[in-house]
Structure 1
Amino acid sequence: MTTIRVPYHLDEPLPEATLPDLPGASTVSPDLPDGDLWARMAHLHEEVAVRVAESVRAAEAPAVLSGDCMVALGTIAGVQRAGVDASVVWFDAHGDLQTLETSASGYMGGIPLRILVGYRPELSAERLGLRAVAEERVLLVDGRDLDPPEAEFLAASPLRRYGVEEVAAEILPPGPIVLHVDLDVVDPGEFEGLLFPTPGGPGVSAVLDAARRVLHTGRVAALSIGCTWDPDRSDPAARSGLVADLVSHRASTG
């Protein structure tokens, strides 16, 4: 099964040690062109989309390990290129539903899910040929740290939000699924070194159990893992063990 490492945070390369080096994994690490942030990320995400599409066409369910959640756009674009019209299940402590107009921080890592459902396609989607996923086919898992504009969006949207413990086959969106797990969904009391720690979350075992329930449906076309931690402040064994567990259960998707 294909495992792809993307050691970047937005358009900035990360130390190799940031992402676990699982057996058989390959690394996407292109020289990014000069230009603005969106052009540079599009170049990186294009490389991811190409590799993911090749894997899906070969009847594999690729796993993509990255340093942020934006790379998931390339993963989903690759799944679509392979002819798979996938729904999305998005595990995250945050909503990732901000916009450039509403974000108080201006952090680009806070908007990928909003882009995925059709926001400002000229920023990323049009560059990747990424088709918007209907909001009713997206499930946000956890999302305990929402800014007011994100909460307002969800209140008016068919995009559904559930807790980790509520994840079950019956609530999943229809058809093939891209499963995205930002590991900051885990409570920082159990997982040190997260870049954006959000207290009050589920433990490691609860997150793994919920992700397995999605993987074991046999409908996951690709697995995306946001390794959003500081490698200097987190335990390498814990990092590798958590990611390896998720990736190993991907093999059960059939």
Structure 2
Amino acid sequence: MTDDRTGAWDLIVTPWHLDEYIPAFPIPVAATQAIRPVLPAGPVPTRMSLLHRAALDAVTQAARPLVLSGDCPTTRAVVAGLRHRHRDLAVLWLDAHGDFNTPAISTSGYLGGMALAMLTGRTPGLFDDTLGLRPVPDTGVVLAGARDLDPAERDALTTSHVRRVPADPAAISSALDRLGPVPVYLHLDIDVIDALQLPGARFPSGLGPSLAQIEECLAAACATAEVTAAYIACAWLPEHVGDETSRQTITRLTAALGADLAWHEPDGD
């Protein structure tokens, strides 16, 4: 293990959902960069590729990136940057959804539901290859807390080598221990938390672990593994992502990772 697990975080904000800019997305005081490229008109994947390229540039400059984003697919940029520095990389993915759909099996075509499949090389041709993303092997992926899966997605996970565990600190620590001394990318979608604690969530998923339990999961992961980068998908509806309760949730989650956030006051306060 290296000392990266206790190093300072470089906070990056990508205030987007797919190719949609979110003006109300809260920007912490300590953010080193907020990614706001000008995206030309065109197909959504093309616009997202340009956004992800800009995010990759920011991640490449960061020693230990902590990304706050409005979606999950921008994870491509973070993992591409990490794969450029680390020969081996594991992924801990905490999410109520599997994000393991592909264009071939998705019933909705929603790109946000394909983010983990993107990382494992299951969506060739969906985006251009300018990120140079090397897929993460299934055997290096731990999916925690997934409870809202499409039937074909469930089948795809069952036939994969992705390890599925509950959103439980002991289960996560055990799964990370089994991966050995490899750097870990930690990805959290806030919808893994019980929907009753997430007013205004974009994709509420019913009963689930409490915010306090997810805090314990994050702390356990950081205590067990070399968490070299982290990502929080702040998947609230645009009109709720900047709410005080949403900011408090983000503050608690980042504190569990060892970051201490302060906030700019939103316009109109």
TM superposition score normalised by structure 2: 0.86
**Aligned amino acid, residue 213 of structure 1:** A
Deviation at 1:146, TM superposition (A): 0.7
Match of 2:197, SS? coil
- The equivalent residue for 1:224 is 231
**Aligned amino acid, residue 96 of structure 1:** D
8 Å CA contact 2:240–2:246 kept in 1: the answer is no
1:42 paired to 2:58: no
CA-to-partner distance for each residue in 1:96-126, whole Å, 9 max, x for gaps? 0011111111111100111111113322372
Deviation at 1:55, TM superposition (A): 1.0
**Aligned amino acid, residue 199 of structure 1:** G
Q: What is the CA–CA distance in structure 2 between the aligned matches of 1:136 and 1:32, rounded to whole Å? A: 36
8 Å CA contact 1:138–1:159 kept in 2: the answer is yes
8 Å CA contact 2:22–2:238 kept in 1: the answer is no
Deviation at 1:34, TM superposition (A): 3.3
- The equivalent residue for 2:262 is none
Deviation at 1:84, TM superposition (A): 5.4
- The equivalent residue for 1:94 is 97
- The equivalent residue for 1:108 is 111
1:168 equivalent among 147, 166, 172: 172
**Aligned amino acid, residue 83 of structure 2:** Q
Match of 2:47, SS? helix
Deviation at 1:33, TM superposition (A): 2.9
- Counting only pairs closer than 5 Å after superposition, residues 105-184 of structure 1 correspond to structure 2 as 105-124=108-127, 126-165=129-168, 166-172=170-176, 173-174=179-180, 175-184=182-191
Deviation at 1:82, TM superposition (A): 2.9
- The equivalent residue for 1:7 is 15
Deviation at 1:128, TM superposition (A): 1.1
Deviation at 1:161, TM superposition (A): 0.8
Deviation at 1:233, TM superposition (A): 4.2
Sequence identity percentage: 35
Q: What is the CA–CA distance in structure 2 between the aligned matches of 1:206 and 1:83, rounded to whole Å? A: 30
**Aligned amino acid, residue 153 of structure 1:** A
Q: What is the CA–CA distance in structure 1 between the aligned matches of 2:124 and 2:253, rounded to whole Å? A: 31
Match of 2:196, SS? coil
Which stretch shows the higher mean deviation, 228-237 or 2-11? 228-237
Q: Name structure 2 gaps, 5 residues minimum.
A: 1-8, 260-269
How many equivalent residue pairs? Answer: 246
Q: Name structure 1 gaps, 5 residues minimum.
A: none
**Aligned amino acid, residue 47 of structure 1:** A
Match of 2:109, SS? coil
Deviation at 1:191, TM superposition (A): 1.5
- The equivalent residue for 1:207 is 214
- The equivalent residue for 1:71 is 74
TM superposition score normalised by structure 1: 0.90
8 Å CA contact 2:235–2:241 kept in 1: the answer is no
- The equivalent residue for 1:21 is 27
